[in-house]
Amino acid sequence: MSLRSKMLAMSTIPVIVLVFAVTYAVSAQRTASRTNEEVDRTTGVRRELAEIQHDLAIAESSVRGFVLTGHARMREDYSEAVIELRGDLEDLKARVTEPLQRNRLEPLEVLVEERLATLQGVLRIGRDRTPETQDRLETFFLHGQTITNAIRGLTEQMELTASELMTERIAARDAAFARSYLIQVIAMPAAIFVAMTLMAGFTGGIVKRVAKMGENAYRLDKGQPLDRPDTSNDELGSLSRAIVRTGAHLSDLQAELRRHATVDDLTGLANRRGFFALGEHELLVAARTRSSVALLFMDVDGLKRVNDELGHVAGDMLLKEAADVIRETIRASDIAGRLGGDEFCVLLMGDPALDPDRVVDRMRDTLDQHNAREGRTFRVSVSMGIASLPPGRSVTLEELIDAADERMYEDKRAKQQEAQPVWSI
């Protein structure tokens, strides 16, 4: 059943009761009903104006807090306040009907957007304090305060007008109720009570369902698992199920995109992006826990010659086999990646007793086992260099790679002097 059908069904009971009372007080009831709506709308205008000032104050304080402390939570509070602020403006536009108030609404929206632009400017500068950015920051604050004062003045005018209108409408409503009191003392309160009870329950259910959809939308935005959809057969149920289906589809797409963004398709190891993302994080953890770290840099020998003489398919097989050697040698806690071309890296994580040389020896043993297999058309050979990081010391992953790369070239030069063949047909 559609939402419209449900509302019509609930309206049937109060309509049957009201029809008898309307016969005697139709004029007064219309006046009272119309006035009640206008009072509610005017009250809503005042409430939305107060919410706008409140949300704007939160946004301003969050930006100032972020500039002073740099806490990411402050920036999140600002974003949430901006969303609430824009939502309040939309609600205000829906409630304002008086020409004078509508004329004031457009400049209010312009001022709010201009104020948000100054706050966004402050966020772009952030905590990067230089003489030039400090001058710009002060300019944004001064200009923003001027806009805030203008917004406050405009909202106070709108609140004053709303208060005056509400006073007039309340007086009109009281007069209408006074005229129809005797007739409405029994039938009308009962009808209104029934209608309000039904509508409150109905509205409460809708609000709860919409809130659940809003929570799923939030989870969808954050990439979190979604709750079960609404099983109702009305419009909200269909929309809820569509959100959940979309969330599942997007989750699959995001997982696929993350895999392509961080995994090397040829070898199955982490690509450069994925290796650096994991490696930088692990270096920070190692520095905090005072764990030993070592980085093994490897360059596959003879890849160009294999490509030239045996073809690129054989070259790809050489790279895949080099990756297999790495996987068979390292532990699950270590991080391996292909940086590009014929270059591989392994970040070795361990306790203070970590012995990187043993890893190199195991790698060479694994290479020997692969090269001892029958029917091979090329040997797998890698030049290796290793750089160790004492416990507690902090360096960047790029610095660690540079150090290991230099030692790798020492190994490669030594092999070239020995003139060891790395492939055969």
Equal fold, 3-185 vs 272-418: no
- Paired tokens of 293: 């770290």
At the topology level of CATH, where does 272-418 sit? Alpha-Beta Plaits (3.30.70)
- Average confidence score pLDDT of the chain: 81
Q: How far apart are the two ends of the chain, measured CA to CA in Å?
A: 75
pLDDT at 22: 66
Non-local CB neighbours of 233 within 8 Å, separated by 6+ positions: 1
Nearest-5° Cα angle at 336, 335 to 341:
150
pLDDT at 401: 93
Helix 312-329 / helix 356-371 crossing angle, nearest 10 deg: 130
Strand partners for 347: 295, 335
383, pLDDT greater than 90: yes
Q: What is the pTM of this model?
A: 0.44
Please state which CATH class domain 3-185 belongs to: mainly alpha
pLDDT at 418: 67
- Paired tokens of 241: 């199920």
Contacts 24+ apart (CB under 8 A), 178-182: 179/28, 180/25, 180/28, 180/29, 180/32
Q: Is 227 a catalytic residue?
A: no
pLDDT at 269: 94
Secondary structure (3-state) at 409: helix
pLDDT at 343: 94
- Overall average pLDDT of the 246-257 stretch: 70
pLDDT at 271: 93
Q: Rg of the chain's alpha carbons, rounded to an integer?
A: 35
Non-local CB neighbours of 243 within 8 Å, separated by 6+ positions: 213, 216, 217, 220, 226, 229
pLDDT at 201: 79
Where in the chain are the domains?
3-185, 272-418
- In this predicted model, what pLDDT tens digit does every residue of 174-184 receive, in sequence order? 777 676 666 66
**Model confidence at 25, in pLDDT bands (50, 70, 90)?**
low
CA distance 281 to 425: 43
- In this predicted model, what pLDDT tens digit does every residue of 302-357 receive, in sequence order? 899 999 999 999 999 999 999 999 999 988 889 999 998 899 999 998 665 667 88
186, pLDDT greater than 90: no
CA distances from 5 to 9, 53, 235 (A): 6, 39, 11
From the candidates 342, 355, 361, 365, which is the catalytic residue?
342
**Model confidence at 300, in pLDDT bands (50, 70, 90)?**
very high
**Model confidence at 188, in pLDDT bands (50, 70, 90)?**
low
Strand partners for 294: 348, 388
216, pLDDT greater than 80: no
